[in-house]
């Protein structure tokens, strides 16, 4: 999030691991970045943790969840679908 400070535009897409440093999650970062902008930002979270109950709430935040190992084609298709949906909505 610090890297985005001072940038003139928000990212088109966020891709994050779920578990980050110091107990922070990818969803924490996604919501923080989204909170700084005026437009919705599509997001993908990747994780190796397939059983964590807290992952269920990602769908309520309009975040695509991909499980590791993520195939590059799967990641590309998810990103393209999210960006297309955003373009179609505007």
Following DSSP, what letter does each residue of 2-55 receive, concatenated? GGGTT-SS--S-EEEESB-GGG-BHHHHHHHHHHHSSS---EEEEES--S-GGG
| pTM confidence score | 0.86
Both structure tokens of 16: 């994050």
Condensed to tens digits (0 to 9), the pLDDT of residues 32-90 reads 999 887 778 999 999 988 666 667 777 778 899 999 999 999 999 999 999 999 889 87
Q: Is residue 1 predicted with pLDDT exceeding 70?
A: no
Q: Which helix (H) or strand (E) holds 85?
A: helix 72-89
**Which carries the bigger pLDDT value, residue 8 or residue 42?**
42
Q: What does the pLDDT look like over 26-45, one tens digit per residue?
A: 999 999 999 887 778 999 99
């Amino acid at each position: 999030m610090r890297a985005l400070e001072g940038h003139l535009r928000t990212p088109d897409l966020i891709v994050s691991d779920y578990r980050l440093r110091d107990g922070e999650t990818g969803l924490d970062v996604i919501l923080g970045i989204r909170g700084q902008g005026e437009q919705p930002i599509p997001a993908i979270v990747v994780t190796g943790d397939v059983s964590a109950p807290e992952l269920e709430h990602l769908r309520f935040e309009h975040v695509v969840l991909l499980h590791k190992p993520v195939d590059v084609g799967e990641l590309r298709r998810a990103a393209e679908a999210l960006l297309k949906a955003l373009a179609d909505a505007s």
